[in-house]
Amino acid sequence: MEKFVIIKSTAGLHALLASKVVRAASKYNVDMKLEYKDHTVDVKSILGLMSLAVPSGENVRLVAIGEKAEDAIKDVEKLIG
């Protein structure tokens, strides 16, 4: 499953938001990636998410594979979109 999401936080994908995203994604037994420009990181990696330095208003792609992929994407989308 995949979904494109626009980062709504005025501070972009900052440390606090990244930690919430990691916690939400870690509840699921899925392989989830976030793609921004030419970079792809594991959504369960706070350092990976922060390394992208995604600013507010940017479009990212979430890709999840696993039993609860749709639920995992919905939870992450609620936080960033």
pLDDT of residue 73: 98
Query: Which H helix or E strand runs over 77?
Result: helix 69-80
CATH number assigned to the domain with residue range 2-80, chosen from the 4 options 3.30.1340.10, 2.40.10.340, 3.40.50.300, 3.40.1190.10: 3.30.1340.10
- Residue 13: pLDDT band (50, 70, 90) is very high
Q: Examine the residue annotation and report whether 14 is marked as an active-site residue of this protein.
A: yes
Task: Give every CB contact of residue 66 below 8 A, 6+ residues apart in sequence.
Answer: 28, 29, 30, 31, 32, 72
pLDDT of residue 11: 95
Q: Could you tell me the residue ranges of all domains in the chain?
A: 2-80
Q: Which of 1, 9, 12, 14 is flagged as catalytic?
A: 14
pLDDT of residue 28: 97
Task: Give every CB contact of residue 2 below 8 A, 6+ residues apart in sequence.
Answer: 61, 62, 63, 64, 73
What does the pLDDT look like over 22-67, one tens digit per residue?
A: 999 999 999 999 999 999 999 999 999 999 999 999 999 999 999 9
pLDDT of residue 4: 98
